[in-house]
Amino acid sequence: MMDLDTQITTLVISFLYGIVFSFLVSVNYKYLYHKKILLRILFTFMFIFANVLIYFILLKKINQAILHPYSLGMILVGFCLEHYLHHLVVRLFKR
């Protein structure tokens, strides 16, 4: 069982990591959706492997790498928020 400070830290880090992950997907879009299937599979595997490894290293520093469902939920919330804000900013600057 984690104390409240550790849980809050885990939630904040997971939320921020979701934002960073969404930004990295946006930046690497042309490589993740490459026309050649072999390059797409290779790059996607390396991208996901590196990001999962970084996330678990962060979790290891915070709470001994204990993964809870609410951590994954916060990653998803951060990802969706950054994705929404990205499209909002793009639409705002296209005017």
Number of domains making up the chain: 1
* Half-sphere exposure at residue 45, Cβ-oriented, CA atoms within 13 angstroms: 6
**pLDDT tens-digit series, residues 46-55:** 999 999 999 9
**pLDDT tens-digit series, residues 30-75:** 888 888 889 889 999 999 999 999 999 999 999 988 888 999 999 9
pLDDT category, 94, cuts 50, 70, 90? confident
Average pLDDT over residues 73-93: 93
pLDDT at residue number 66: 87
Parent domain of 15: 4-94
pLDDT at residue number 31: 84
Taking a C-beta distance cutoff of 8 angstroms, is the pair 59, 67 a contact?
Answer: yes
